[in-house]
Amino acid sequence: MIIPPAPVPNRPSLLMSNVWALSLAGASIIFLMIVAAVDRSGFYVLISALIMAGVFLIAHRSYVKRMEASQKAVNESSRYAHALEERTAALRDSEQRFRSAFKYAPIGIALVSPDGRWVKVNKALCDILGYTPEEFLSMHVSQVIFPDDLAQALASVDDLITGRAVNCQMEQRYIHKSGWTVWASWSASAASEAWSEAPHLIFQIQDITDRKVAEEQLQHEATHDALTGLPNRAYFVSRLTKALAKAKRDPKYSVSVLFIDLDRFKYVNDSLGHFIGDNLLMAIADRLGECMRPPDIIARLGGDEFTILVEGRYYTEKASRIAERIQEKFSEPFQVHGHEIYSSASIGILVASDRYDSAEDIMRDADTAMYYAKRAGRARHETFDEYMHLRAKETLRLETDLRRALERNEVQVRYQPIYDLRTMKPTGVEALARWTHPELGDISPSRFIPLAEETGLIDEVLDQVMRRACLEMREVYVHAPNGDQLKLSVNLSCRQFAGADLLSRIRNILDETGYAASQLKLEITESVFIEYQERAIEMLHKIREMGIELDIDDFGTGYSNLSYLVRLPISTLKIDRSFVCPINDDGANIEIVRTILALARNLGLTVVAEGIETEEQVRSLIDLDCERGQGFLLSKPLTAAGLKELLDRGEETPLLPMHYDDISTVSTLQ
């Protein structure tokens, strides 16, 4: 048991008690002396004694006041000494706590001299940067700060030393002893008053590397494509916006964009699977990177679309040369997990001018140029011009108007007779889609059919054509001589084989119109075998089982494959007009036609020659024993009423040359 010490008496208070006791004793003695004097000496002695007593009392009172003042001073001194002792103890405790906190703090703390030397460092700072305390004390602050961040850090330190700032905070990079970069949250303040000469600084350094790495990873994922690692659309648009702003400030600074779309990439996914397709995209990204200059960037917009940004001081032809290098690189096959794959690209080029104010406008026009390259035959590049822009605006308008025309059932049908070249009598007709725009007039099928394919309207267009043709030809054929032997040919778009409902739609139209399947022929192009392969073959066999005949249209212009011709239930080959038109007066340029006729005979197929325009062509085709033909020489496309009149006459074609300004108006759905 701890016994508390006895209380120490208050010495000034005890002294005052003694003074008052002595004063009381003195007063008592004087009183006794006065009494004795009165008894012995009389009244005068009494007066003298009283005077002496008064003097004594005055002196005593003065003495007491001095003693009280002394006691008060002693008390004040005692209290001050006690307070000083308590403050000293508190400072000692505070210093001890600071030393403990400095030493064991979880963040790095350092005392730094005004000239940037490490004066004192704690264990956490040593752990963060990998140096020992002795190594720190032999170094300058600048030796561990990342060079790119040093200027800002030194400027902040100067503000602290000169008193322009009380403290500062920032995120900056440090160099670990092992060489890697450490991200830290850094704060600094003066260790003494800012106005004192050369105050020391206290640094607090907290390691935030893991957080910064996570932030950078999130930022990278937000701005880059996960598959190829290339920048994505958002990053590309951001860079393009900055480049465009720089070009506005500097007339000599050029900006170009290459918009790249892979040709027929979908077939790689459909035939070899998405795993091979993804690996092909990564290989393509690498090969594109080989075609660029170091300052240029390439981005993947998504799917099989890529873009390249070319910026700086260069000749505008540079973008075209990059496109040429890309085409050259793509001429070599890609080796992907044991598969040798050839790929090509359609490239649109846009060289920015003063009229462009936004990145989206540049991307739009580069995309437009790419589509022109694709329509021109693919595996090529086109540079955007104002004509393309006007055509794009017109196309947008046509799309809107085509939708309205379909809603109003305004797509019409014309019928071009197909003749037996031996008898010169019709054996059937080909239905041709026609659209007369209320303001623009006749729109060529070569314009609105591809537009319908791109916008997903092709099914509606061909359904209207087939339904109207079946209704009108049922009425025409029923009254025509030998009408039950006449055929109706309707073109199918390759895009229609992508849907699963093609067969049911054809069946429904035949049921609605009451048209006989045996009098219907569907014309397809060779591209359907390349794009849809086994799926197309299976669907065509089912169409043939319905009693509908199948023809190959524009034969010789696509990807001719004899293996498909053997496997398909085809009845007719139609020779493209491009092989018929070169036949001249003396019958030259007929070798390709002769070859196709020989092939057809070996396969047991009928041949129809398209685009007959001269009597010399007819005579040459008859000499080659070509069974059938069609063209402006034989008959122009007719309305249903005009066709009925022609069939009712039952006459042979007069074979008179006919001249029309726009031969392209006979273009079919292809």
Q: How far apart are CA 649 and CA 636, in angstroms?
A: 17
Q: How confident is the model at residue 264 (pLDDT cuts 50, 70, 90)?
A: confident
pTM over 0.75: no
Whole-number pLDDT of residue 500: 80
DSSP of 587-628, one letter per residue?
A: --S-HHHHHHHHHHHHHT-EEEE----SHHHHHHHHHTT--E
Kindly report which listed range (100-114, 421-435, 498-512, 647-661) carries the lowest average pLDDT score.
Answer: 647-661
Q: Is residue 499 predicted with pLDDT exceeding 70?
A: yes
Q: For residue 437, which phi and psi values (nearest 5 degrees)?
A: -75, 140
Q: Is residue 51 predicted with pLDDT exceeding 80?
A: no
Across the strands, what pairs with 84? none
The answer to whether the beta carbons of residues 362 and 374 sit under 8 Å apart is no
The answer to whether the beta carbons of residues 627 and 604 sit under 8 Å apart is no
Helix 458-479 to helix 640-649 angle (10° resolution) is: 30
H helices within 376-411, ranges in order? Answer: 386-407
Q: Is residue 83 predicted with pLDDT exceeding 80?
A: no
Q: How far apart are CA 6 and CA 207, in angstroms?
A: 56
Residue 242 vs residue 495, higher pLDDT: 242
What is the rounded average pLDDT of the residues 586-599?
Answer: 82
Pair of tokens at residue 273: 């699977």
* pLDDT tens for each residue of 306-344: 999 999 888 778 889 999 999 999 989 999 999 999 999
Whole-number pLDDT of residue 59: 67
* pLDDT tens for each residue of 381-414: 999 988 888 888 888 888 999 999 999 988 999 9
Q: Is residue 509 predicted with pLDDT exceeding 60?
A: yes
Q: Where are the beta strands (DSSP E) in 455-571?
A: 487-491, 520-524, 549-555
Kindly report which listed range (17-21, 43-47, 521-525) carries the lowest average pLDDT score.
Answer: 17-21
Q: How far apart are CA 346 and CA 367, in angstroms?
A: 10
Kindly report which listed range (199-208, 311-320, 556-565) carries the lowest average pLDDT score.
Answer: 556-565
Q: Hey, what's the torsion of the CAs at 35, 40, 43, 44, to 10 degrees?
A: -110
